[in-house]
Amino acid sequence: MSGRSLFDKIWEQHVVLPENSNTPAILYIDLHLVHEVTSPQAFDLLRSNGISVRRPDLTLATMDHSTPTVPVSSLKDLKVVAEPEAFNQIVQMEKNCEEFGLELRGLGNSERGIVHVIAPELGATQPGKTIVCGDSHTSTHGALGALAFGIGTTEVYHVLATQCLLQRKPKTFAINLEGHLQSGVTAKDIILGIIGKIGIDGGTGHAIEYRGDAVKQLSIEERMTICNMAIEGGARTGMFAPDDSTYEYLYGRPHAPQDEAWDIALKEWKMLPSDDDAQFDKEVTLDVSKLRPMATFGTNPGMVIPIDGAIPSPSSSDQGFTKALDYMQLEAGQPLAGSPVDVVFIGSCTNSRLSDLRAAASVLNGRKVAEGVRTLIVPGSAQIKREAEAEGLPEIFKAAGAEWREPGCSMCLAMNGDFVPEGKLAVSTSNRNFEGRQGKGARTILASPLTAAASAINGVVSDPRTFIS
Ligand code: SF4
């Protein structure tokens, strides 16, 4: 019998009842992340069925998608700045959390922020945990060796009511990352390179484990960027085995185990990495030393090329590709670099952490964004905002002509007042470039914070390596 993978070990530890041909497995959930957009119907179902939340202590609630990124100090202020739908979601979330006894990291809370940013930051995301949230990018938490995936609204209800979830076991997929990154090439370029290689359905039905020599050079924040977009390659989730970087990241965080409990947890976490003879259902290798900064040109994250490459030609039968180029107002054969940019967004659960803001600042420092390019920089959490301010990053951004905002999902999804105007081209550090994702008719190019900042300075899609000495 072959060894077990990281995924197999966590799965087996959490199966309450195994699956059979008729029924999925019942899986125990260690941490349920709840936010204002996908929870209202779940709370309504609890209410109408007279059910309470089974484990409020294992439920972490925040507000991120609908919250405005301008300062708001009262509900009266909120009503002025928020869209009516967003306002209602925020007010309802406050009511639901109060009624069901959940601690909410709401608007005025010092720990608030994007759900996938604050849970690791608080140390609530830990190796070996099963973590779910009504949000596709829950895979982010796999960066710390957790098994984490997005769930639907009905499943949010199931987990709130039972702390368990019906789930079919995915297959395993090893993505081996080899080599050393070149200067100006980042974790975002790795994941865009992976999706370009495997396609947007390459991971369908699989749990990815990122492995290989290159992993050691990746910080936990970089691993979060890579896990965040596993879902964009079709995978159920993405994970990294916990290692010394994971333990250093978690040590001392408020929700991490303390004292003796830390020693016990550490022993358990060290048992989690895949066995040397673990078998995977699928395997792919990527030499990251060959990567260049990557940017998307179409309307899904798999339509991606190196920043200095030319947009490929569609095959005569690929109507979707032709439609995507029409939507993006780009032409096959033309270079992507040099396309005029209207908006730059640096933020989202993919790239709004302190290291991302530092990267952006390294390019913007002492320079000015091009005239007419709206540049929005949005920290992922209140804590990141404080840390960035302590380092003086906002002064760099503001001196460059960029806007420095309150934490939240912001322009990632255009439901909180921040959006890309119709027909305008945005370089965005978020994770989705679907039609209309950042606003009706908005055209989105996904890229790293370095590439986004370089594009803001030049006013056209730009290679960040020209800014790096
Ligand atoms: S930043 Fe975007 S992808 Fe991430 S949780 Fe918010 S809306 Fe979802």
Which residue among 33, 60, 69, 116 is best mutated to probe the pocket of ligand 1, counting the most ligand atoms within 8 A of its Cβ? 116
pLDDT computed for residue 467 by the predictor: 95
| Amino acid making up residue 432 | R
Nearest ligand 1 atom to the CA of 140 is: 4
Contact 34, 100 (CB under 8 A): no
Which residue among 62, 64, 229, 429 is best mutated to probe the pocket of ligand 1, counting the most ligand atoms within 8 A of its Cβ? 64
Check if 141 has its Cβ closer than 6 Å to any atom of ligand 1: no
**What is the distance of C-alpha 465 from the center of its chain?**
24
Distances (CA, A) of 349 to 47, 118, 238: 31, 10, 15
For residue 239, what are its two tokens? Answer: 């994970």
pLDDT computed for residue 239 by the predictor: 98
Check if 33 has its Cβ closer than 6 Å to any atom of ligand 1: no
For residue 383, what is the DSSP state? H
CA of 334 to the centre of ligand 1 (A): 31
Check if 116 has its Cβ closer than 6 Å to any atom of ligand 1: yes
- Picking from 265, 287, 136, 118, the residue whose alpha carbon sits closest to that of residue 203 is 136
As averages over each run of 10 residues, the pLDDT of the chain (469 residues) reads 94 97 97 96 98 98 95 85 91 97 94 98 98 98 98 97 98 98 98 98 98 97 98 98 98 98 98 98 98 98 97 84 96 97 98 98 98 98 98 98 97 95 98 97 98 98 94
Check if 431 has its Cβ closer than 6 Å to any atom of ligand 1: yes
CA of 349 to the centre of ligand 1 (A): 6
Residues sharing a CB contact under 8 Å with residue 437, sequence separation 6 or more, in sequence order: 412, 413, 414, 444
Backbone angles phi, psi at 235, to 5 degrees: -75, 155
CA of 68 to the centre of ligand 1 (A): 14
pLDDT computed for residue 382 by the predictor: 97
Tokens 């609890």 identify what position? 46
CA of 412 to the centre of ligand 1 (A): 6
For ligand 1, atom 2, which residue shows the shortest CA distance? 412
pLDDT computed for residue 211 by the predictor: 98
Check if 175 has its Cβ closer than 6 Å to any atom of ligand 1: no
Instruction: Reduce the DSSP state of residue 123 to 3 states and report it.
Output: coil
Check if 137 has its Cβ closer than 6 Å to any atom of ligand 1: yes
CA of 430 to the centre of ligand 1 (A): 8
- Cβ count near 423 (within 10 Å): 12
Check if 385 has its Cβ closer than 6 Å to any atom of ligand 1: no
Check if 63 has its Cβ closer than 6 Å to any atom of ligand 1: no
Residue ranges and CATH numbers for the domains of the chain are: 6-167 (3.30.499.10), 171-255+267-290 (3.40.1060.10), 294-467 (3.30.499.10)
Nearest ligand 1 atom to the CA of 35 is: 5
- Picking from 136, 108, 127, the residue whose alpha carbon sits closest to that of residue 33 is 136
Contact 78, 186 (CB under 8 A): no
CA of 459 to the centre of ligand 1 (A): 26
Q: Is pTM beyond 0.75 here?
A: yes
Instruction: Reduce the DSSP state of residue 24 to 3 states and report it.
Output: coil
